[in-house]
A and B are shown apart, each in its own frame.
Chain A
Amino acid sequence: MKTICLYFEIHQIVHLKRYRFFDIGTDHYYYDDYENDRSIGEIAERSYMPALNAFLDMIKENGDYFKVAFSLSGVGLEQLELHAPQVIAKLQELNDTGCVEFLAEPYSHGLSSLANDECFIADVRRQMSKMEEYFGKRPTVLRNSSLIYSDEIGNVAASMGFKGMLTEGAKHVLGWKSPHYVYNCCQAPGLKLLLRDIDLSDDISLRFNDSDWEGYPLFADNYVNRIATLPEDEQVINIFMELLALGISQPLSSNILEFIKALPRCARQKGITFSTPSEVCGRMNSVGDLFVPDTLSWVDEERDVSCWLGNPMQREAFDKLYSIADRVRIANDPRINQDWDYLQASNNFRFMTTKPSNVGLDRGIYNSPFDAFTNYMNILGDFINRVNSLYPEEIDNDQLDSLLTTIKNQGDEIQVKDNEIVRLKTRLTKAQEDVDKLNAKLDKLTEKKKAAAAKTTTRKTATSTRKTAKPAAEKADDKK
């Protein structure tokens, strides 16, 4: 039985503001608040909300037959928290239906997987705990920023305990093979790979509204028929795209949501099901190793990283940024960490591309790749200065790391000792209380004895015993 695995990416960057080199050292705020607010607001209104509402309707209509997966970058989530919390509320509502899965991805939507494994792992872990916090479940399947994947990255992902990973079904990797099977990473057989079907995904995300395209207009029944007529053995059809495709890349006026809504109905008639990535990973067996020595991604015709690292400017910016990755991780300063996330976002590098592309690229405030590079490098210059000024530059990373570890260990030691002191103190007070109780008992006993004795002497003895009990209680208080 065939199954469709639908997945949507939700990510928005924090836009950088115009930052001149005179601002280096004087201005440490790099973001264009107005543009962030405006763009998120527009996207939420035109794309995210209508699309998520449509998914909710589909789930209500189809029960648990329809399934869908999302991944949210941490940076994107922060933007939504600030400017469009209704989207998060809607995602939580979707999550409550149980038909939605959230995937892991780097918090920053950056390229750390190509530069620094430790940084990448920390980046993903942070996003995972954020997902757990919002949706109550820790993701088990990973998708890297823009589906970047290579054998090494697969290896790292497997070492983090992921059971599956999403990537591109690029022709130059697959060759004669079909993306409609589950494969596994050749270095880590435990990690299953789900490959995007380029044609079926791009028919929706790139071409749906293109009246020059021969497949225009695209109808859900034709689309599902194409899936149904695939060979019997090809069972997983992975359709991955950005959520932006529904509403921004393809405007709502093209009736794209009606198309999406009709998919489950048509699929059901053909006996095709829907699954989330983790269900696919759990149910299907891998048909073999997939060798990916060179990095691939879902961008451009080349399906590689050339749109972020294709020219020397991009590589310089990338190298400069990740040259301080370890320092940032070791320093672990909250404000630095936040800027670090925002600066890592791969979109910043995309703005600097000089490649001709058939997909329109909105460069935002930049009028050329050189402009984008200049602005980014100015900001990066200031950021690197800040990172370096946290600790003296002549201490190298290893030294700093060991110093900080020593400080941390000492802190831990002090903590342990503090705990011990508190424990002993409570024990002491407890012992004191026991002593007091015993004294009180003793008093009572002597009182009874004296009461049995002459009645006239009673009062005198009672006051004198009280006097002796009091200093003892005071002593116990002092010790506290």
Chain B
Amino acid sequence: MKVLMFGWEYPPHVYGGLATANFGITQGLHAQGDIDITLCLPKPFGDEDHTAARIVAMNCVPIAWRNVDYDYVKSRIGNVMDPDYYYRLRDHLYADFNYMYVNELGCMDFAGGYPSNLHDEINNYSIIAGVVARTEDFDIIHAHDWLTYPAGIHAKRVSGKPLCIHVHATDFDRSRGNVNPTVYSIEKDGMDNADCIMCVSELTRQTVINQYHQDPRKCFAMHNAVYPLRQELQDIPRPDHTGKEKIVTFLGRLTMQKGPEYFVEAANMVLHRTRNVRFCMAGSGDMMDQMIYLAAKRGIADRFHFPGFMRGKEVYECLKDSDVYVMPSVSEPFGISPLEAMQCGTPTIISKQSGCGEILTNCIKVDYWDVHALADAIYSICHNDGLFHYLQEEGKKEVDQITWEKVGLRIRKLYDQLLSR
């Protein structure tokens, strides 16, 4: 079975959770043995992992005819694409795009990530997808997140093959209900044209059904999973805080969707009863200054720390050094980070509005707005060793059972259903 997959980001160049999820899904599908994946990415760097999927660099796909020789192509894009493949793509141009900003290879550049001209990039991406879809031979299309929906639709129009879209988040999650109409229209268009909608949780599935008016029969909850920790990360020692100060951590973008202010308020309540705890709010975002101000206003700044944005190994060091991990998201489609915290053996508190809560039992779930319950749970884990050890051990056992291979198998079954229609 051949799958044409559209993605936006891919490890090791991670901007958000999408990269990790995309990587996991390709790995999980690859593990099925008989699935070939062609993964289109706007701007790969050449250091991506090619074992699970063949990566097509969309910024090296020609959309206008240029007469360039082999050596020149090889020198320009040889690190990410085979020159022969460039010529194959050039044989499938479908319109004259010379009026666009194309370079001397007839390709369009991408800034990568989430630049301010995102809507233009989305549009460019779908134009290029037309070329790829005409070149490639595939059975099914799989588009990740709204950025790639237009490309998916385009590929479906060109090829007539069924379109699967994977909803990693909706604009309702990001905006607390005040949706951006442009984004909403792109999302809705993608869902309307999809033959199968995979949502990362039942929570998201309900949003898709109710807010985007989709047929429940084509919506499926497809929970994410987590990769086993690399040996190097497993070897990070866990400091023993028994009888010492406890550390409670929030790790994520400081933005409305993640509910950082609830964490500060809960910290305030805990610190008014006990001084034996420190709070750490790692990450950056548009609400960073507001949070620093709030912590100062509550008079807890001496025990409330902002170490800033963390990447790579730092994240795991921070998680291993924590006694409690908190994710008070207002609306979280899935949320892989609690699973990572549990892998590190850190007891986790998540909001009931988080999709990952649907597949986890050994973590504490509270309503994001219930600051009292959140504070109570933090206090309880810090003061009762029984609870701490139970959540630590059982949580780790539980999360070790959640693998991408199982997700791959479930996606595979949906593909089969779709193709047999």
Residues of A within 8 A of B (CB): 20-22, 24, 311-317, 354, 367-368, 370-371, 373-375, 377-378, 381
The answer on a CB contact under 8 Å between A22 and B386 is: no
Q: Complex formed: what's the CA distance from A316 to B380 in Å?
A: 12
8 tightest Cβ-Cβ pairs between the two chains A and B: A316-B386, A374-B380, A312-B386, A21-B379, A313-B386, A312-B390, A370-B364, A20-B376
Q: Complex formed: what's the CA distance from A20 to B380 in Å?
A: 10
B-side contacts of A367, CB under 8 Å? 365
B-side contacts of A377, CB under 8 Å? 380, 383-384, 387
Does B298 sit at the interface, judged by CB under 8 A? no
Q: Pick the contact of B375 from A20, A314, A317, A371 — CB < 8 Å?
A: A20
Please count the residue pairs between chain A and chain B whose beta carbons lie under 8 angstroms apart in the complex: 64
The answer on a CB contact under 8 Å between A373 and B269 is: no
The answer on a CB contact under 8 Å between B380 and A21 is: yes
Q: Complex formed: what's the CA distance from A314 to B387 in Å?
A: 9
Known contacts: A22-B269, A367-B365. The answer to whether A313 contacts B376 by CB under 8 A is no
B-side contacts of A317, CB under 8 Å? 386
Known contacts: A22-B273, A24-B273, A371-B364. The answer to whether A315 contacts B386 by CB under 8 A is yes
A-side contacts of B387, CB under 8 Å? 312-313, 316, 370, 373-374, 377
The answer on a CB contact under 8 Å between B384 and A354 is: no
Q: Complex formed: what's the CA distance from A113 to B232 in Å?
A: 49
Q: Pick the contact of B376 from A21, A314, A316 — CB < 8 Å?
A: A21
Name, among B372, B377, B390, the residue most crowded by chain A CB atoms within 10 Å (CB to CB).
B390
Interface residues of A, dominant DSSP: helix
The answer on a CB contact under 8 Å between B273 and A312 is: no
Does B36 sit at the interface, judged by CB under 8 A? no
25 CB-based A-B contacts, threshold 8 Å: A21-B273, A21-B376, A21-B379, A21-B380, A22-B269, A22-B273, A22-B372, A311-B390, A312-B386, A312-B387, A313-B384, A313-B387, A316-B384, A316-B385, A317-B386, A354-B390, A368-B365, A370-B364, A370-B387, A373-B384, A373-B386, A374-B376, A375-B376, A378-B379, A381-B383
The answer on a CB contact under 8 Å between B364 and A368 is: yes
A-side contacts of B364, CB under 8 Å? 368, 370-371, 374
Q: Complex formed: what's the CA distance from A20 to B387 in Å?
A: 16
Binary A-proximity of B385-414 (CB < 8 A = 1, otherwise 0): 111011100100000000000000000000
Q: Complex formed: what's the CA distance from A210 to B376 in Å?
A: 40
Q: Complex formed: what's the CA distance from A282 to B192 in Å?
A: 80
Q: Complex formed: what's the CA distance from A374 to B364 in Å?
A: 10
The answer on a CB contact under 8 Å between B365 and A313 is: no
Q: Complex formed: what's the CA distance from A331 to B49 in Å?
A: 69
What is the CB-to-nearest-CB distance from A148 to chain B, in angstroms, rounded to a whole number? 21
A-side contacts of B377, CB under 8 Å? 370, 374
What is the CB-to-nearest-CB distance from A202 to chain B, in angstroms, rounded to a whole number? 28
B-side contacts of A20, CB under 8 Å? 372-373, 375-376
Q: Complex formed: what's the CA distance from A371 to B377 in Å?
A: 8
What is the CB-to-nearest-CB distance from A373 to chain B, in angstroms, rounded to a whole number? 6
B-side contacts of A374, CB under 8 Å? 364, 376-377, 379-380, 384, 387
Looking across the interface, which residue of chain A has its beta carbon closest to that of B378?
A21
Which chain B residues in 207-237 approach chain A with CB under 8 Å? none
Residues of B within 8 A of A (CB): 269, 272-273, 361, 364-365, 372-373, 375-377, 379-380, 383-387, 389-391, 394
The answer on a CB contact under 8 Å between A370 and B394 is: no
Given A354-B394, A381-B383, 10 extra CB contacts under 8 A: A20-B372, A21-B379, A312-B386, A316-B384, A316-B386, A316-B387, A368-B361, A374-B379, A374-B387, A378-B379
Q: Complex formed: what's the CA distance from A370 to B269 in Å?
A: 20
B-side contacts of A313, CB under 8 Å? 384, 386-387, 390
Known contacts: A22-B269, A373-B384. The answer to whether A312 contacts B376 by CB under 8 A is no
A-side contacts of B386, CB under 8 Å? 311-317, 373
Q: Complex formed: what's the CA distance from A354 to B365 in Å?
A: 15
What is the CB-to-nearest-CB distance from A301 to chain B, in angstroms, rounded to a whole number? 20
What is the CB-to-nearest-CB distance from B384 to chain A, in angstroms, rounded to a whole number? 5
Looking across the interface, which residue of chain B has its beta carbon closest to that of A311?
B390
Q: Pick the contact of A370 from B372, B383, B385, B391 — CB < 8 Å?
A: B391
What is the CB-to-nearest-CB distance from B167 to chain A, in angstroms, rounded to a whole number? 27
Name, among B372, B379, B391, B394, the residue most crowded by chain A CB atoms within 10 Å (CB to CB).
B379
What is the CB-to-nearest-CB distance from A321 to chain B, in angstroms, rounded to a whole number? 12
Looking across the interface, which residue of chain A has its beta carbon closest to that of B270?
A21
What is the CB-to-nearest-CB distance from A382 to chain B, in angstroms, rounded to a whole number? 12
A-side contacts of B376, CB under 8 Å? 20-21, 374-375, 378
What is the CB-to-nearest-CB distance from A22 to chain B, in angstroms, rounded to a whole number? 6
Q: Complex formed: what's the CA distance from A83 to B296 in Å?
A: 50
Looking across the interface, which residue of chain A has its beta carbon closest to that of B365?
A368
Q: Complex formed: what's the CA distance from A273 to B383 in Å?
A: 56
A-side contacts of B372, CB under 8 Å? 20, 22
Q: Complex formed: what's the CA distance from A370 to B390 in Å?
A: 10
Q: Complex formed: what's the CA distance from A371 to B376 in Å?
A: 9
Looking across the interface, which residue of chain B has its beta carbon closest to that of A374?
B380
The answer on a CB contact under 8 Å between B365 and A21 is: no
Q: Complex formed: what's the CA distance from A316 to B269 in Å?
A: 25
Looking across the interface, which residue of chain A has its beta carbon closest to that of B352?
A367
Q: Complex formed: what's the CA distance from A377 to B390 in Å?
A: 15
Q: Complex formed: what's the CA distance from A436 to B391 in Å?
A: 87
B-side contacts of A315, CB under 8 Å? 386
What is the CB-to-nearest-CB distance from B27 to chain A, in angstroms, rounded to a whole number? 31
The answer on a CB contact under 8 Å between A312 and B389 is: yes
B-side contacts of A21, CB under 8 Å? 273, 375-376, 379-380
The answer on a CB contact under 8 Å between A373 and B365 is: no
Q: Complex formed: what's the CA distance from A374 to B383 in Å?
A: 10
Q: Complex formed: what's the CA distance from A370 to B386 in Å?
A: 11
B-side contacts of A314, CB under 8 Å? 386
B-side contacts of A375, CB under 8 Å? 376
Q: Complex formed: what's the CA distance from A167 to B380 in Å?
A: 36
Name, among B372, B380, B389, B391, the residue most crowded by chain A CB atoms within 10 Å (CB to CB).
B380
Q: Complex formed: what's the CA distance from A316 to B388 in Å?
A: 11
A-side contacts of B272, CB under 8 Å? 22
Q: Complex formed: what's the CA distance from A312 to B384 in Å?
A: 10
Q: Complex formed: what's the CA distance from A354 to B395 in Å?
A: 12
A-side contacts of B389, CB under 8 Å? 312
Q: Complex formed: what's the CA distance from A315 to B394 in Å?
A: 16
B-side contacts of A381, CB under 8 Å? 383
Looking across the interface, which residue of chain A has its beta carbon closest to that of B379?
A21
Q: Complex formed: what's the CA distance from A80 to B129 in Å?
A: 74
Looking across the interface, which residue of chain B has its beta carbon closest to that of A319?
B386
Q: Complex formed: what's the CA distance from A21 to B376 in Å?
A: 6
Looking across the interface, which residue of chain A has its beta carbon closest to that of B391?
A370
Q: Complex formed: what's the CA distance from A375 to B372 in Å?
A: 12
What is the CB-to-nearest-CB distance from B354 to chain A, in angstroms, rounded to a whole number? 15
Name, among A313, A314, A370, A378, the residue most crowded by chain B CB atoms within 10 Å (CB to CB).
A370
Q: Complex formed: what's the CA distance from A377 to B384 in Å?
A: 8
A-side contacts of B269, CB under 8 Å? 22
What is the CB-to-nearest-CB distance from A379 to chain B, in angstroms, rounded to a whole number? 12
Looking across the interface, which residue of chain B has its beta carbon closest to that of A22?
B273
Name, among A20, A354, A373, A374, the residue most crowded by chain B CB atoms within 10 Å (CB to CB).
A374
A-side contacts of B361, CB under 8 Å? 368
A-side contacts of B383, CB under 8 Å? 377, 381
B-side contacts of A371, CB under 8 Å? 364
What is the CB-to-nearest-CB distance from B12 to chain A, in angstroms, rounded to a whole number? 36
Q: Complex formed: what's the CA distance from A392 to B251 in Å?
A: 44
